[in-house]
Chains A and B, each alone.
Chain A
Amino acid sequence: MTSGIAVVTIGVTLVLAGGFALLLRNMEELLDHFGDDLRVTAYLESEVSGEALRALKDRVLAIPGVEDVESLSQDEALERFRASVGSGSALLDGLDINPLPASLEISLSDDRRSAEGMEAVANVIEGLAGVESLSSGRDWVEGYLRAVALVRSVGVGLGIILALATLLIVSNTIRLGIFARRDELEILSLVGASRPFVQMPFLLEGVIQGAVGGAIALGLLYALFRFALPGFEFGLELLVGTAPRFFSSGEALILVAGGAGLGLFGSAAALSGGWRS
């Protein structure tokens, strides 16, 4: 009965902590995925074309952190827009002039795919003659990173509080176990059992309870992931272009080991105050 309480407590703690870890992991992965598509677009003044466009492209390419530059003339921009709006493109036929500016689509090297890296490159490009305005995913990246940091802080904070509460519950549960077996402990002590001899079963019990709790948490998280997520998975994949991933086997092992660790510390805490030779 008391063992069951410890197992369930550890399980609940790890479901919550593991859930946050899973969310965080997928959010960070999403950022990596978006990183590939993160580009700075420099919209050019209307007089920049031909030779001037090529010269500007070369100058941008020379900026540190710029991996590739693709130039897009006004006509190409219109064609792309026309293709993207599909059947609505007929509306564009009435246009006398092309309102779209020529642009340079600038891909950044891996080390610049962050809000700060983007800003540094954008500042240089913004100062170039012929560049009218810039568009980048900087604001989005900043917002997203703030969200990731928030989830991480909440996860860590909640994890610490839950871990402490779990330690308290597990140590009290083990203490109840010690109390229930006090006659046995007294007899072991009488016949000269050493401290490790007496404590080992309780420590092992804590480790096993913790590992079972961790395994249950892993199972619950997997069940939620497999059966609750598919309802959103299609939308998510469409929206962000990547399907959420579950823990790798190494991460799953860490979750179970975390449970075992909680059980071990809970038992050790109980034994330090609950048994005297």
Chain B
Amino acid sequence: MSRSRFRLRSGGDAVNVPRGEGAIRMFHVSKSYLAGSFALRDVSIELAKGEFVFLTGPSGAGKTSLLKLIFGAERPSEGQIVVLGRNIARLGRSAVPPLRRKIGVVFQDFKLLPRRTVEENVALALQVTGTPPRETRARVFAILKQLGLQHRRYHHPLSLSGGEQQRVAIARALVNEPQILLADEPTGNLDPELTVEIMDLIASAALRGTTVVVATHELEIVRRYGKRAVRLENGRIVEDTKPSFPRT
């Protein structure tokens, strides 16, 4: 890595990181919550725009920590991480919300508001951006229809099945047409049939140009889609396999 490839910009932009067009770029990133104990250690990785990548590894390998770094919930202890051209390590507090509006996140436990309807839960992602109510309603209806949930829009999350709740979470993550979609064990609470359904929805986002990162410990899913898989163990990348033909 030569110095000539480095660029220097002010604000939350990239500083001392190589040039590149990747959606997510990490350079020697370490994350430590306790002194001497690392959740991530010297992780360097580049994810291109529109790429679909699995993060695999056992529980505690650092998959969730890596995702948290990408959406700015955590700051790296060491190294640089550039997401959509913004250096997370140097990002001001006020710059975090605008970045998050370009990143959709899906969790294993769905993280839906139980007292709000499906429509309201999905609309939340647009309301925070100041989208006019009429446009919000139209876009929410469109994404719910796309995910086969339009008939459930006035229901509350707890009255839905697990698969439906996760589809609502995906709808909320995608309604903003994010540039990055992060999913942390999105099928962890679902049975195998629903797992395929949910993963197909997530994979379809990559076809539209969204960079998709799915953290999972289910190797069956990884094999099924034949995409790039980055394996973490004890906070380090131990394997980075290139895409292969999906299993039929």
Contact A192 B94 (CB under 8 A): no
Known: A187-B124, A188-B124, A188-B128. A194 touches B111 (CB 8 A): no
Report if B125 contacts A (CB, 8 A). Answer: yes
Tell me the complex Cα distance, A188–B105, Å.
12
Across the two chains, which residue of chain B brings its CB closest to A194? B97
What total of A-B pairs shows CB separation below 8 Å? Answer: 46
Most chain B CB within a 10 A radius of its CB, from A189, A190, A195, A277: A190
Given the known A-B contacts A192-B125, A194-B94, are A184 and B113 also in contact in the complex, defined by CB atoms under 8 Å?
Answer: yes
Contact A193 B128 (CB under 8 A): yes
Q: Does A191 contact B (CB under 8 A)?
A: yes
Contact B105 A190, beta carbon cutoff 8 Å = yes
Residues in chain B near residue A186, CB distance under 8 A: 111
B86 CB within 8 Å of chain A: no
Q: Assuming A277-B93, A277-B96, is B101 touching A190 (CB within 8 A)?
A: no
- Which positions 175-220 of chain A face chain B at CB distance < 8 Å? 183-184, 186-195, 197
Quick check: is B172 within 8 A (CB to CB) of the other chain? yes
- In the complex, chain B residues whose CB is within 8 Å of the CB of A188: 124, 128
Which residues of B71-97 have CB atoms within 8 Å of chain A's CB atoms? 71, 93-94, 96-97
Question: Is B99 positioned at the interface, with any CB of A under 8 Å from its CB?
Answer: yes
Chain B residues contacting A187 (CB-CB under 8 Å) are 111-113, 124
B100 interface residue, CB < 8 Å from A? yes
Does B98 count as interface, using CB distance less than 8 angstroms?
yes
- Total interface residues in chain A, CB < 8 Å: 14
Q: Which residues of A contact B124 (CB under 8 A)?
A: 187-188, 191
Contacts of A193 in B (CB 8 A): 97, 128
| Residues in A whose Cβ lies below 8 Å from that of B125 | 191-192
Q: Are A192 and B128 in contact (CB under 8 A)?
A: yes
Give the chain A neighbours of B101 by CB distance below 8 A.
Answer: 191-192
- Complex Cα distance, B124 from A239, in Å, reads 66
Identify the interface centre among B71, B97, B98: most chain A CB within 10 Å of its CB: B97
- CA of A76 to CA of B113, assembled, Å: 90
Residue B241 is within 8 A (CB to CB) of chain A in the complex:
no
Question: Is B159 in contact with chain A by the CB < 8 A criterion?
Answer: no
Give chain B residues whose Cβ lies under 8 Å from the Cβ of A189: 97, 100
CB distance from A187 to the nearest CB of B (A): 5
Q: Which has the most chain B C-beta neighbours within 10 Å: A188, A190, A192?
A: A192
- Interface membership of B129, Cβ < 8 A: yes
CB nearest to B100 among chain A residues: A192
Q: Which residues of A contact B103 (CB under 8 A)?
A: 192
Q: Hey, which chain B residues are within 8 Å of A194, CB to CB?
A: 94, 97, 128
Residues 166-185 of B at the A interface (beta carbon under 8 Å): 172, 176
A residues apposed to B, CB below 8 Å: 183-184, 186-195, 197, 277
24 A-B residue pairings within 8 Å (CB atoms): A183-B111, A183-B113, A184-B113, A186-B111, A187-B112, A187-B113, A187-B124, A189-B100, A190-B71, A190-B100, A190-B105, A190-B111, A191-B101, A191-B128, A191-B176, A192-B98, A192-B99, A192-B103, A192-B128, A192-B129, A194-B128, A195-B97, A277-B96, A277-B97
Q: Give me the interface of B with A, judged by CB distance under 8 Å.
A: 71, 93-94, 96-101, 103, 105, 111-113, 124-125, 128-129, 172, 176
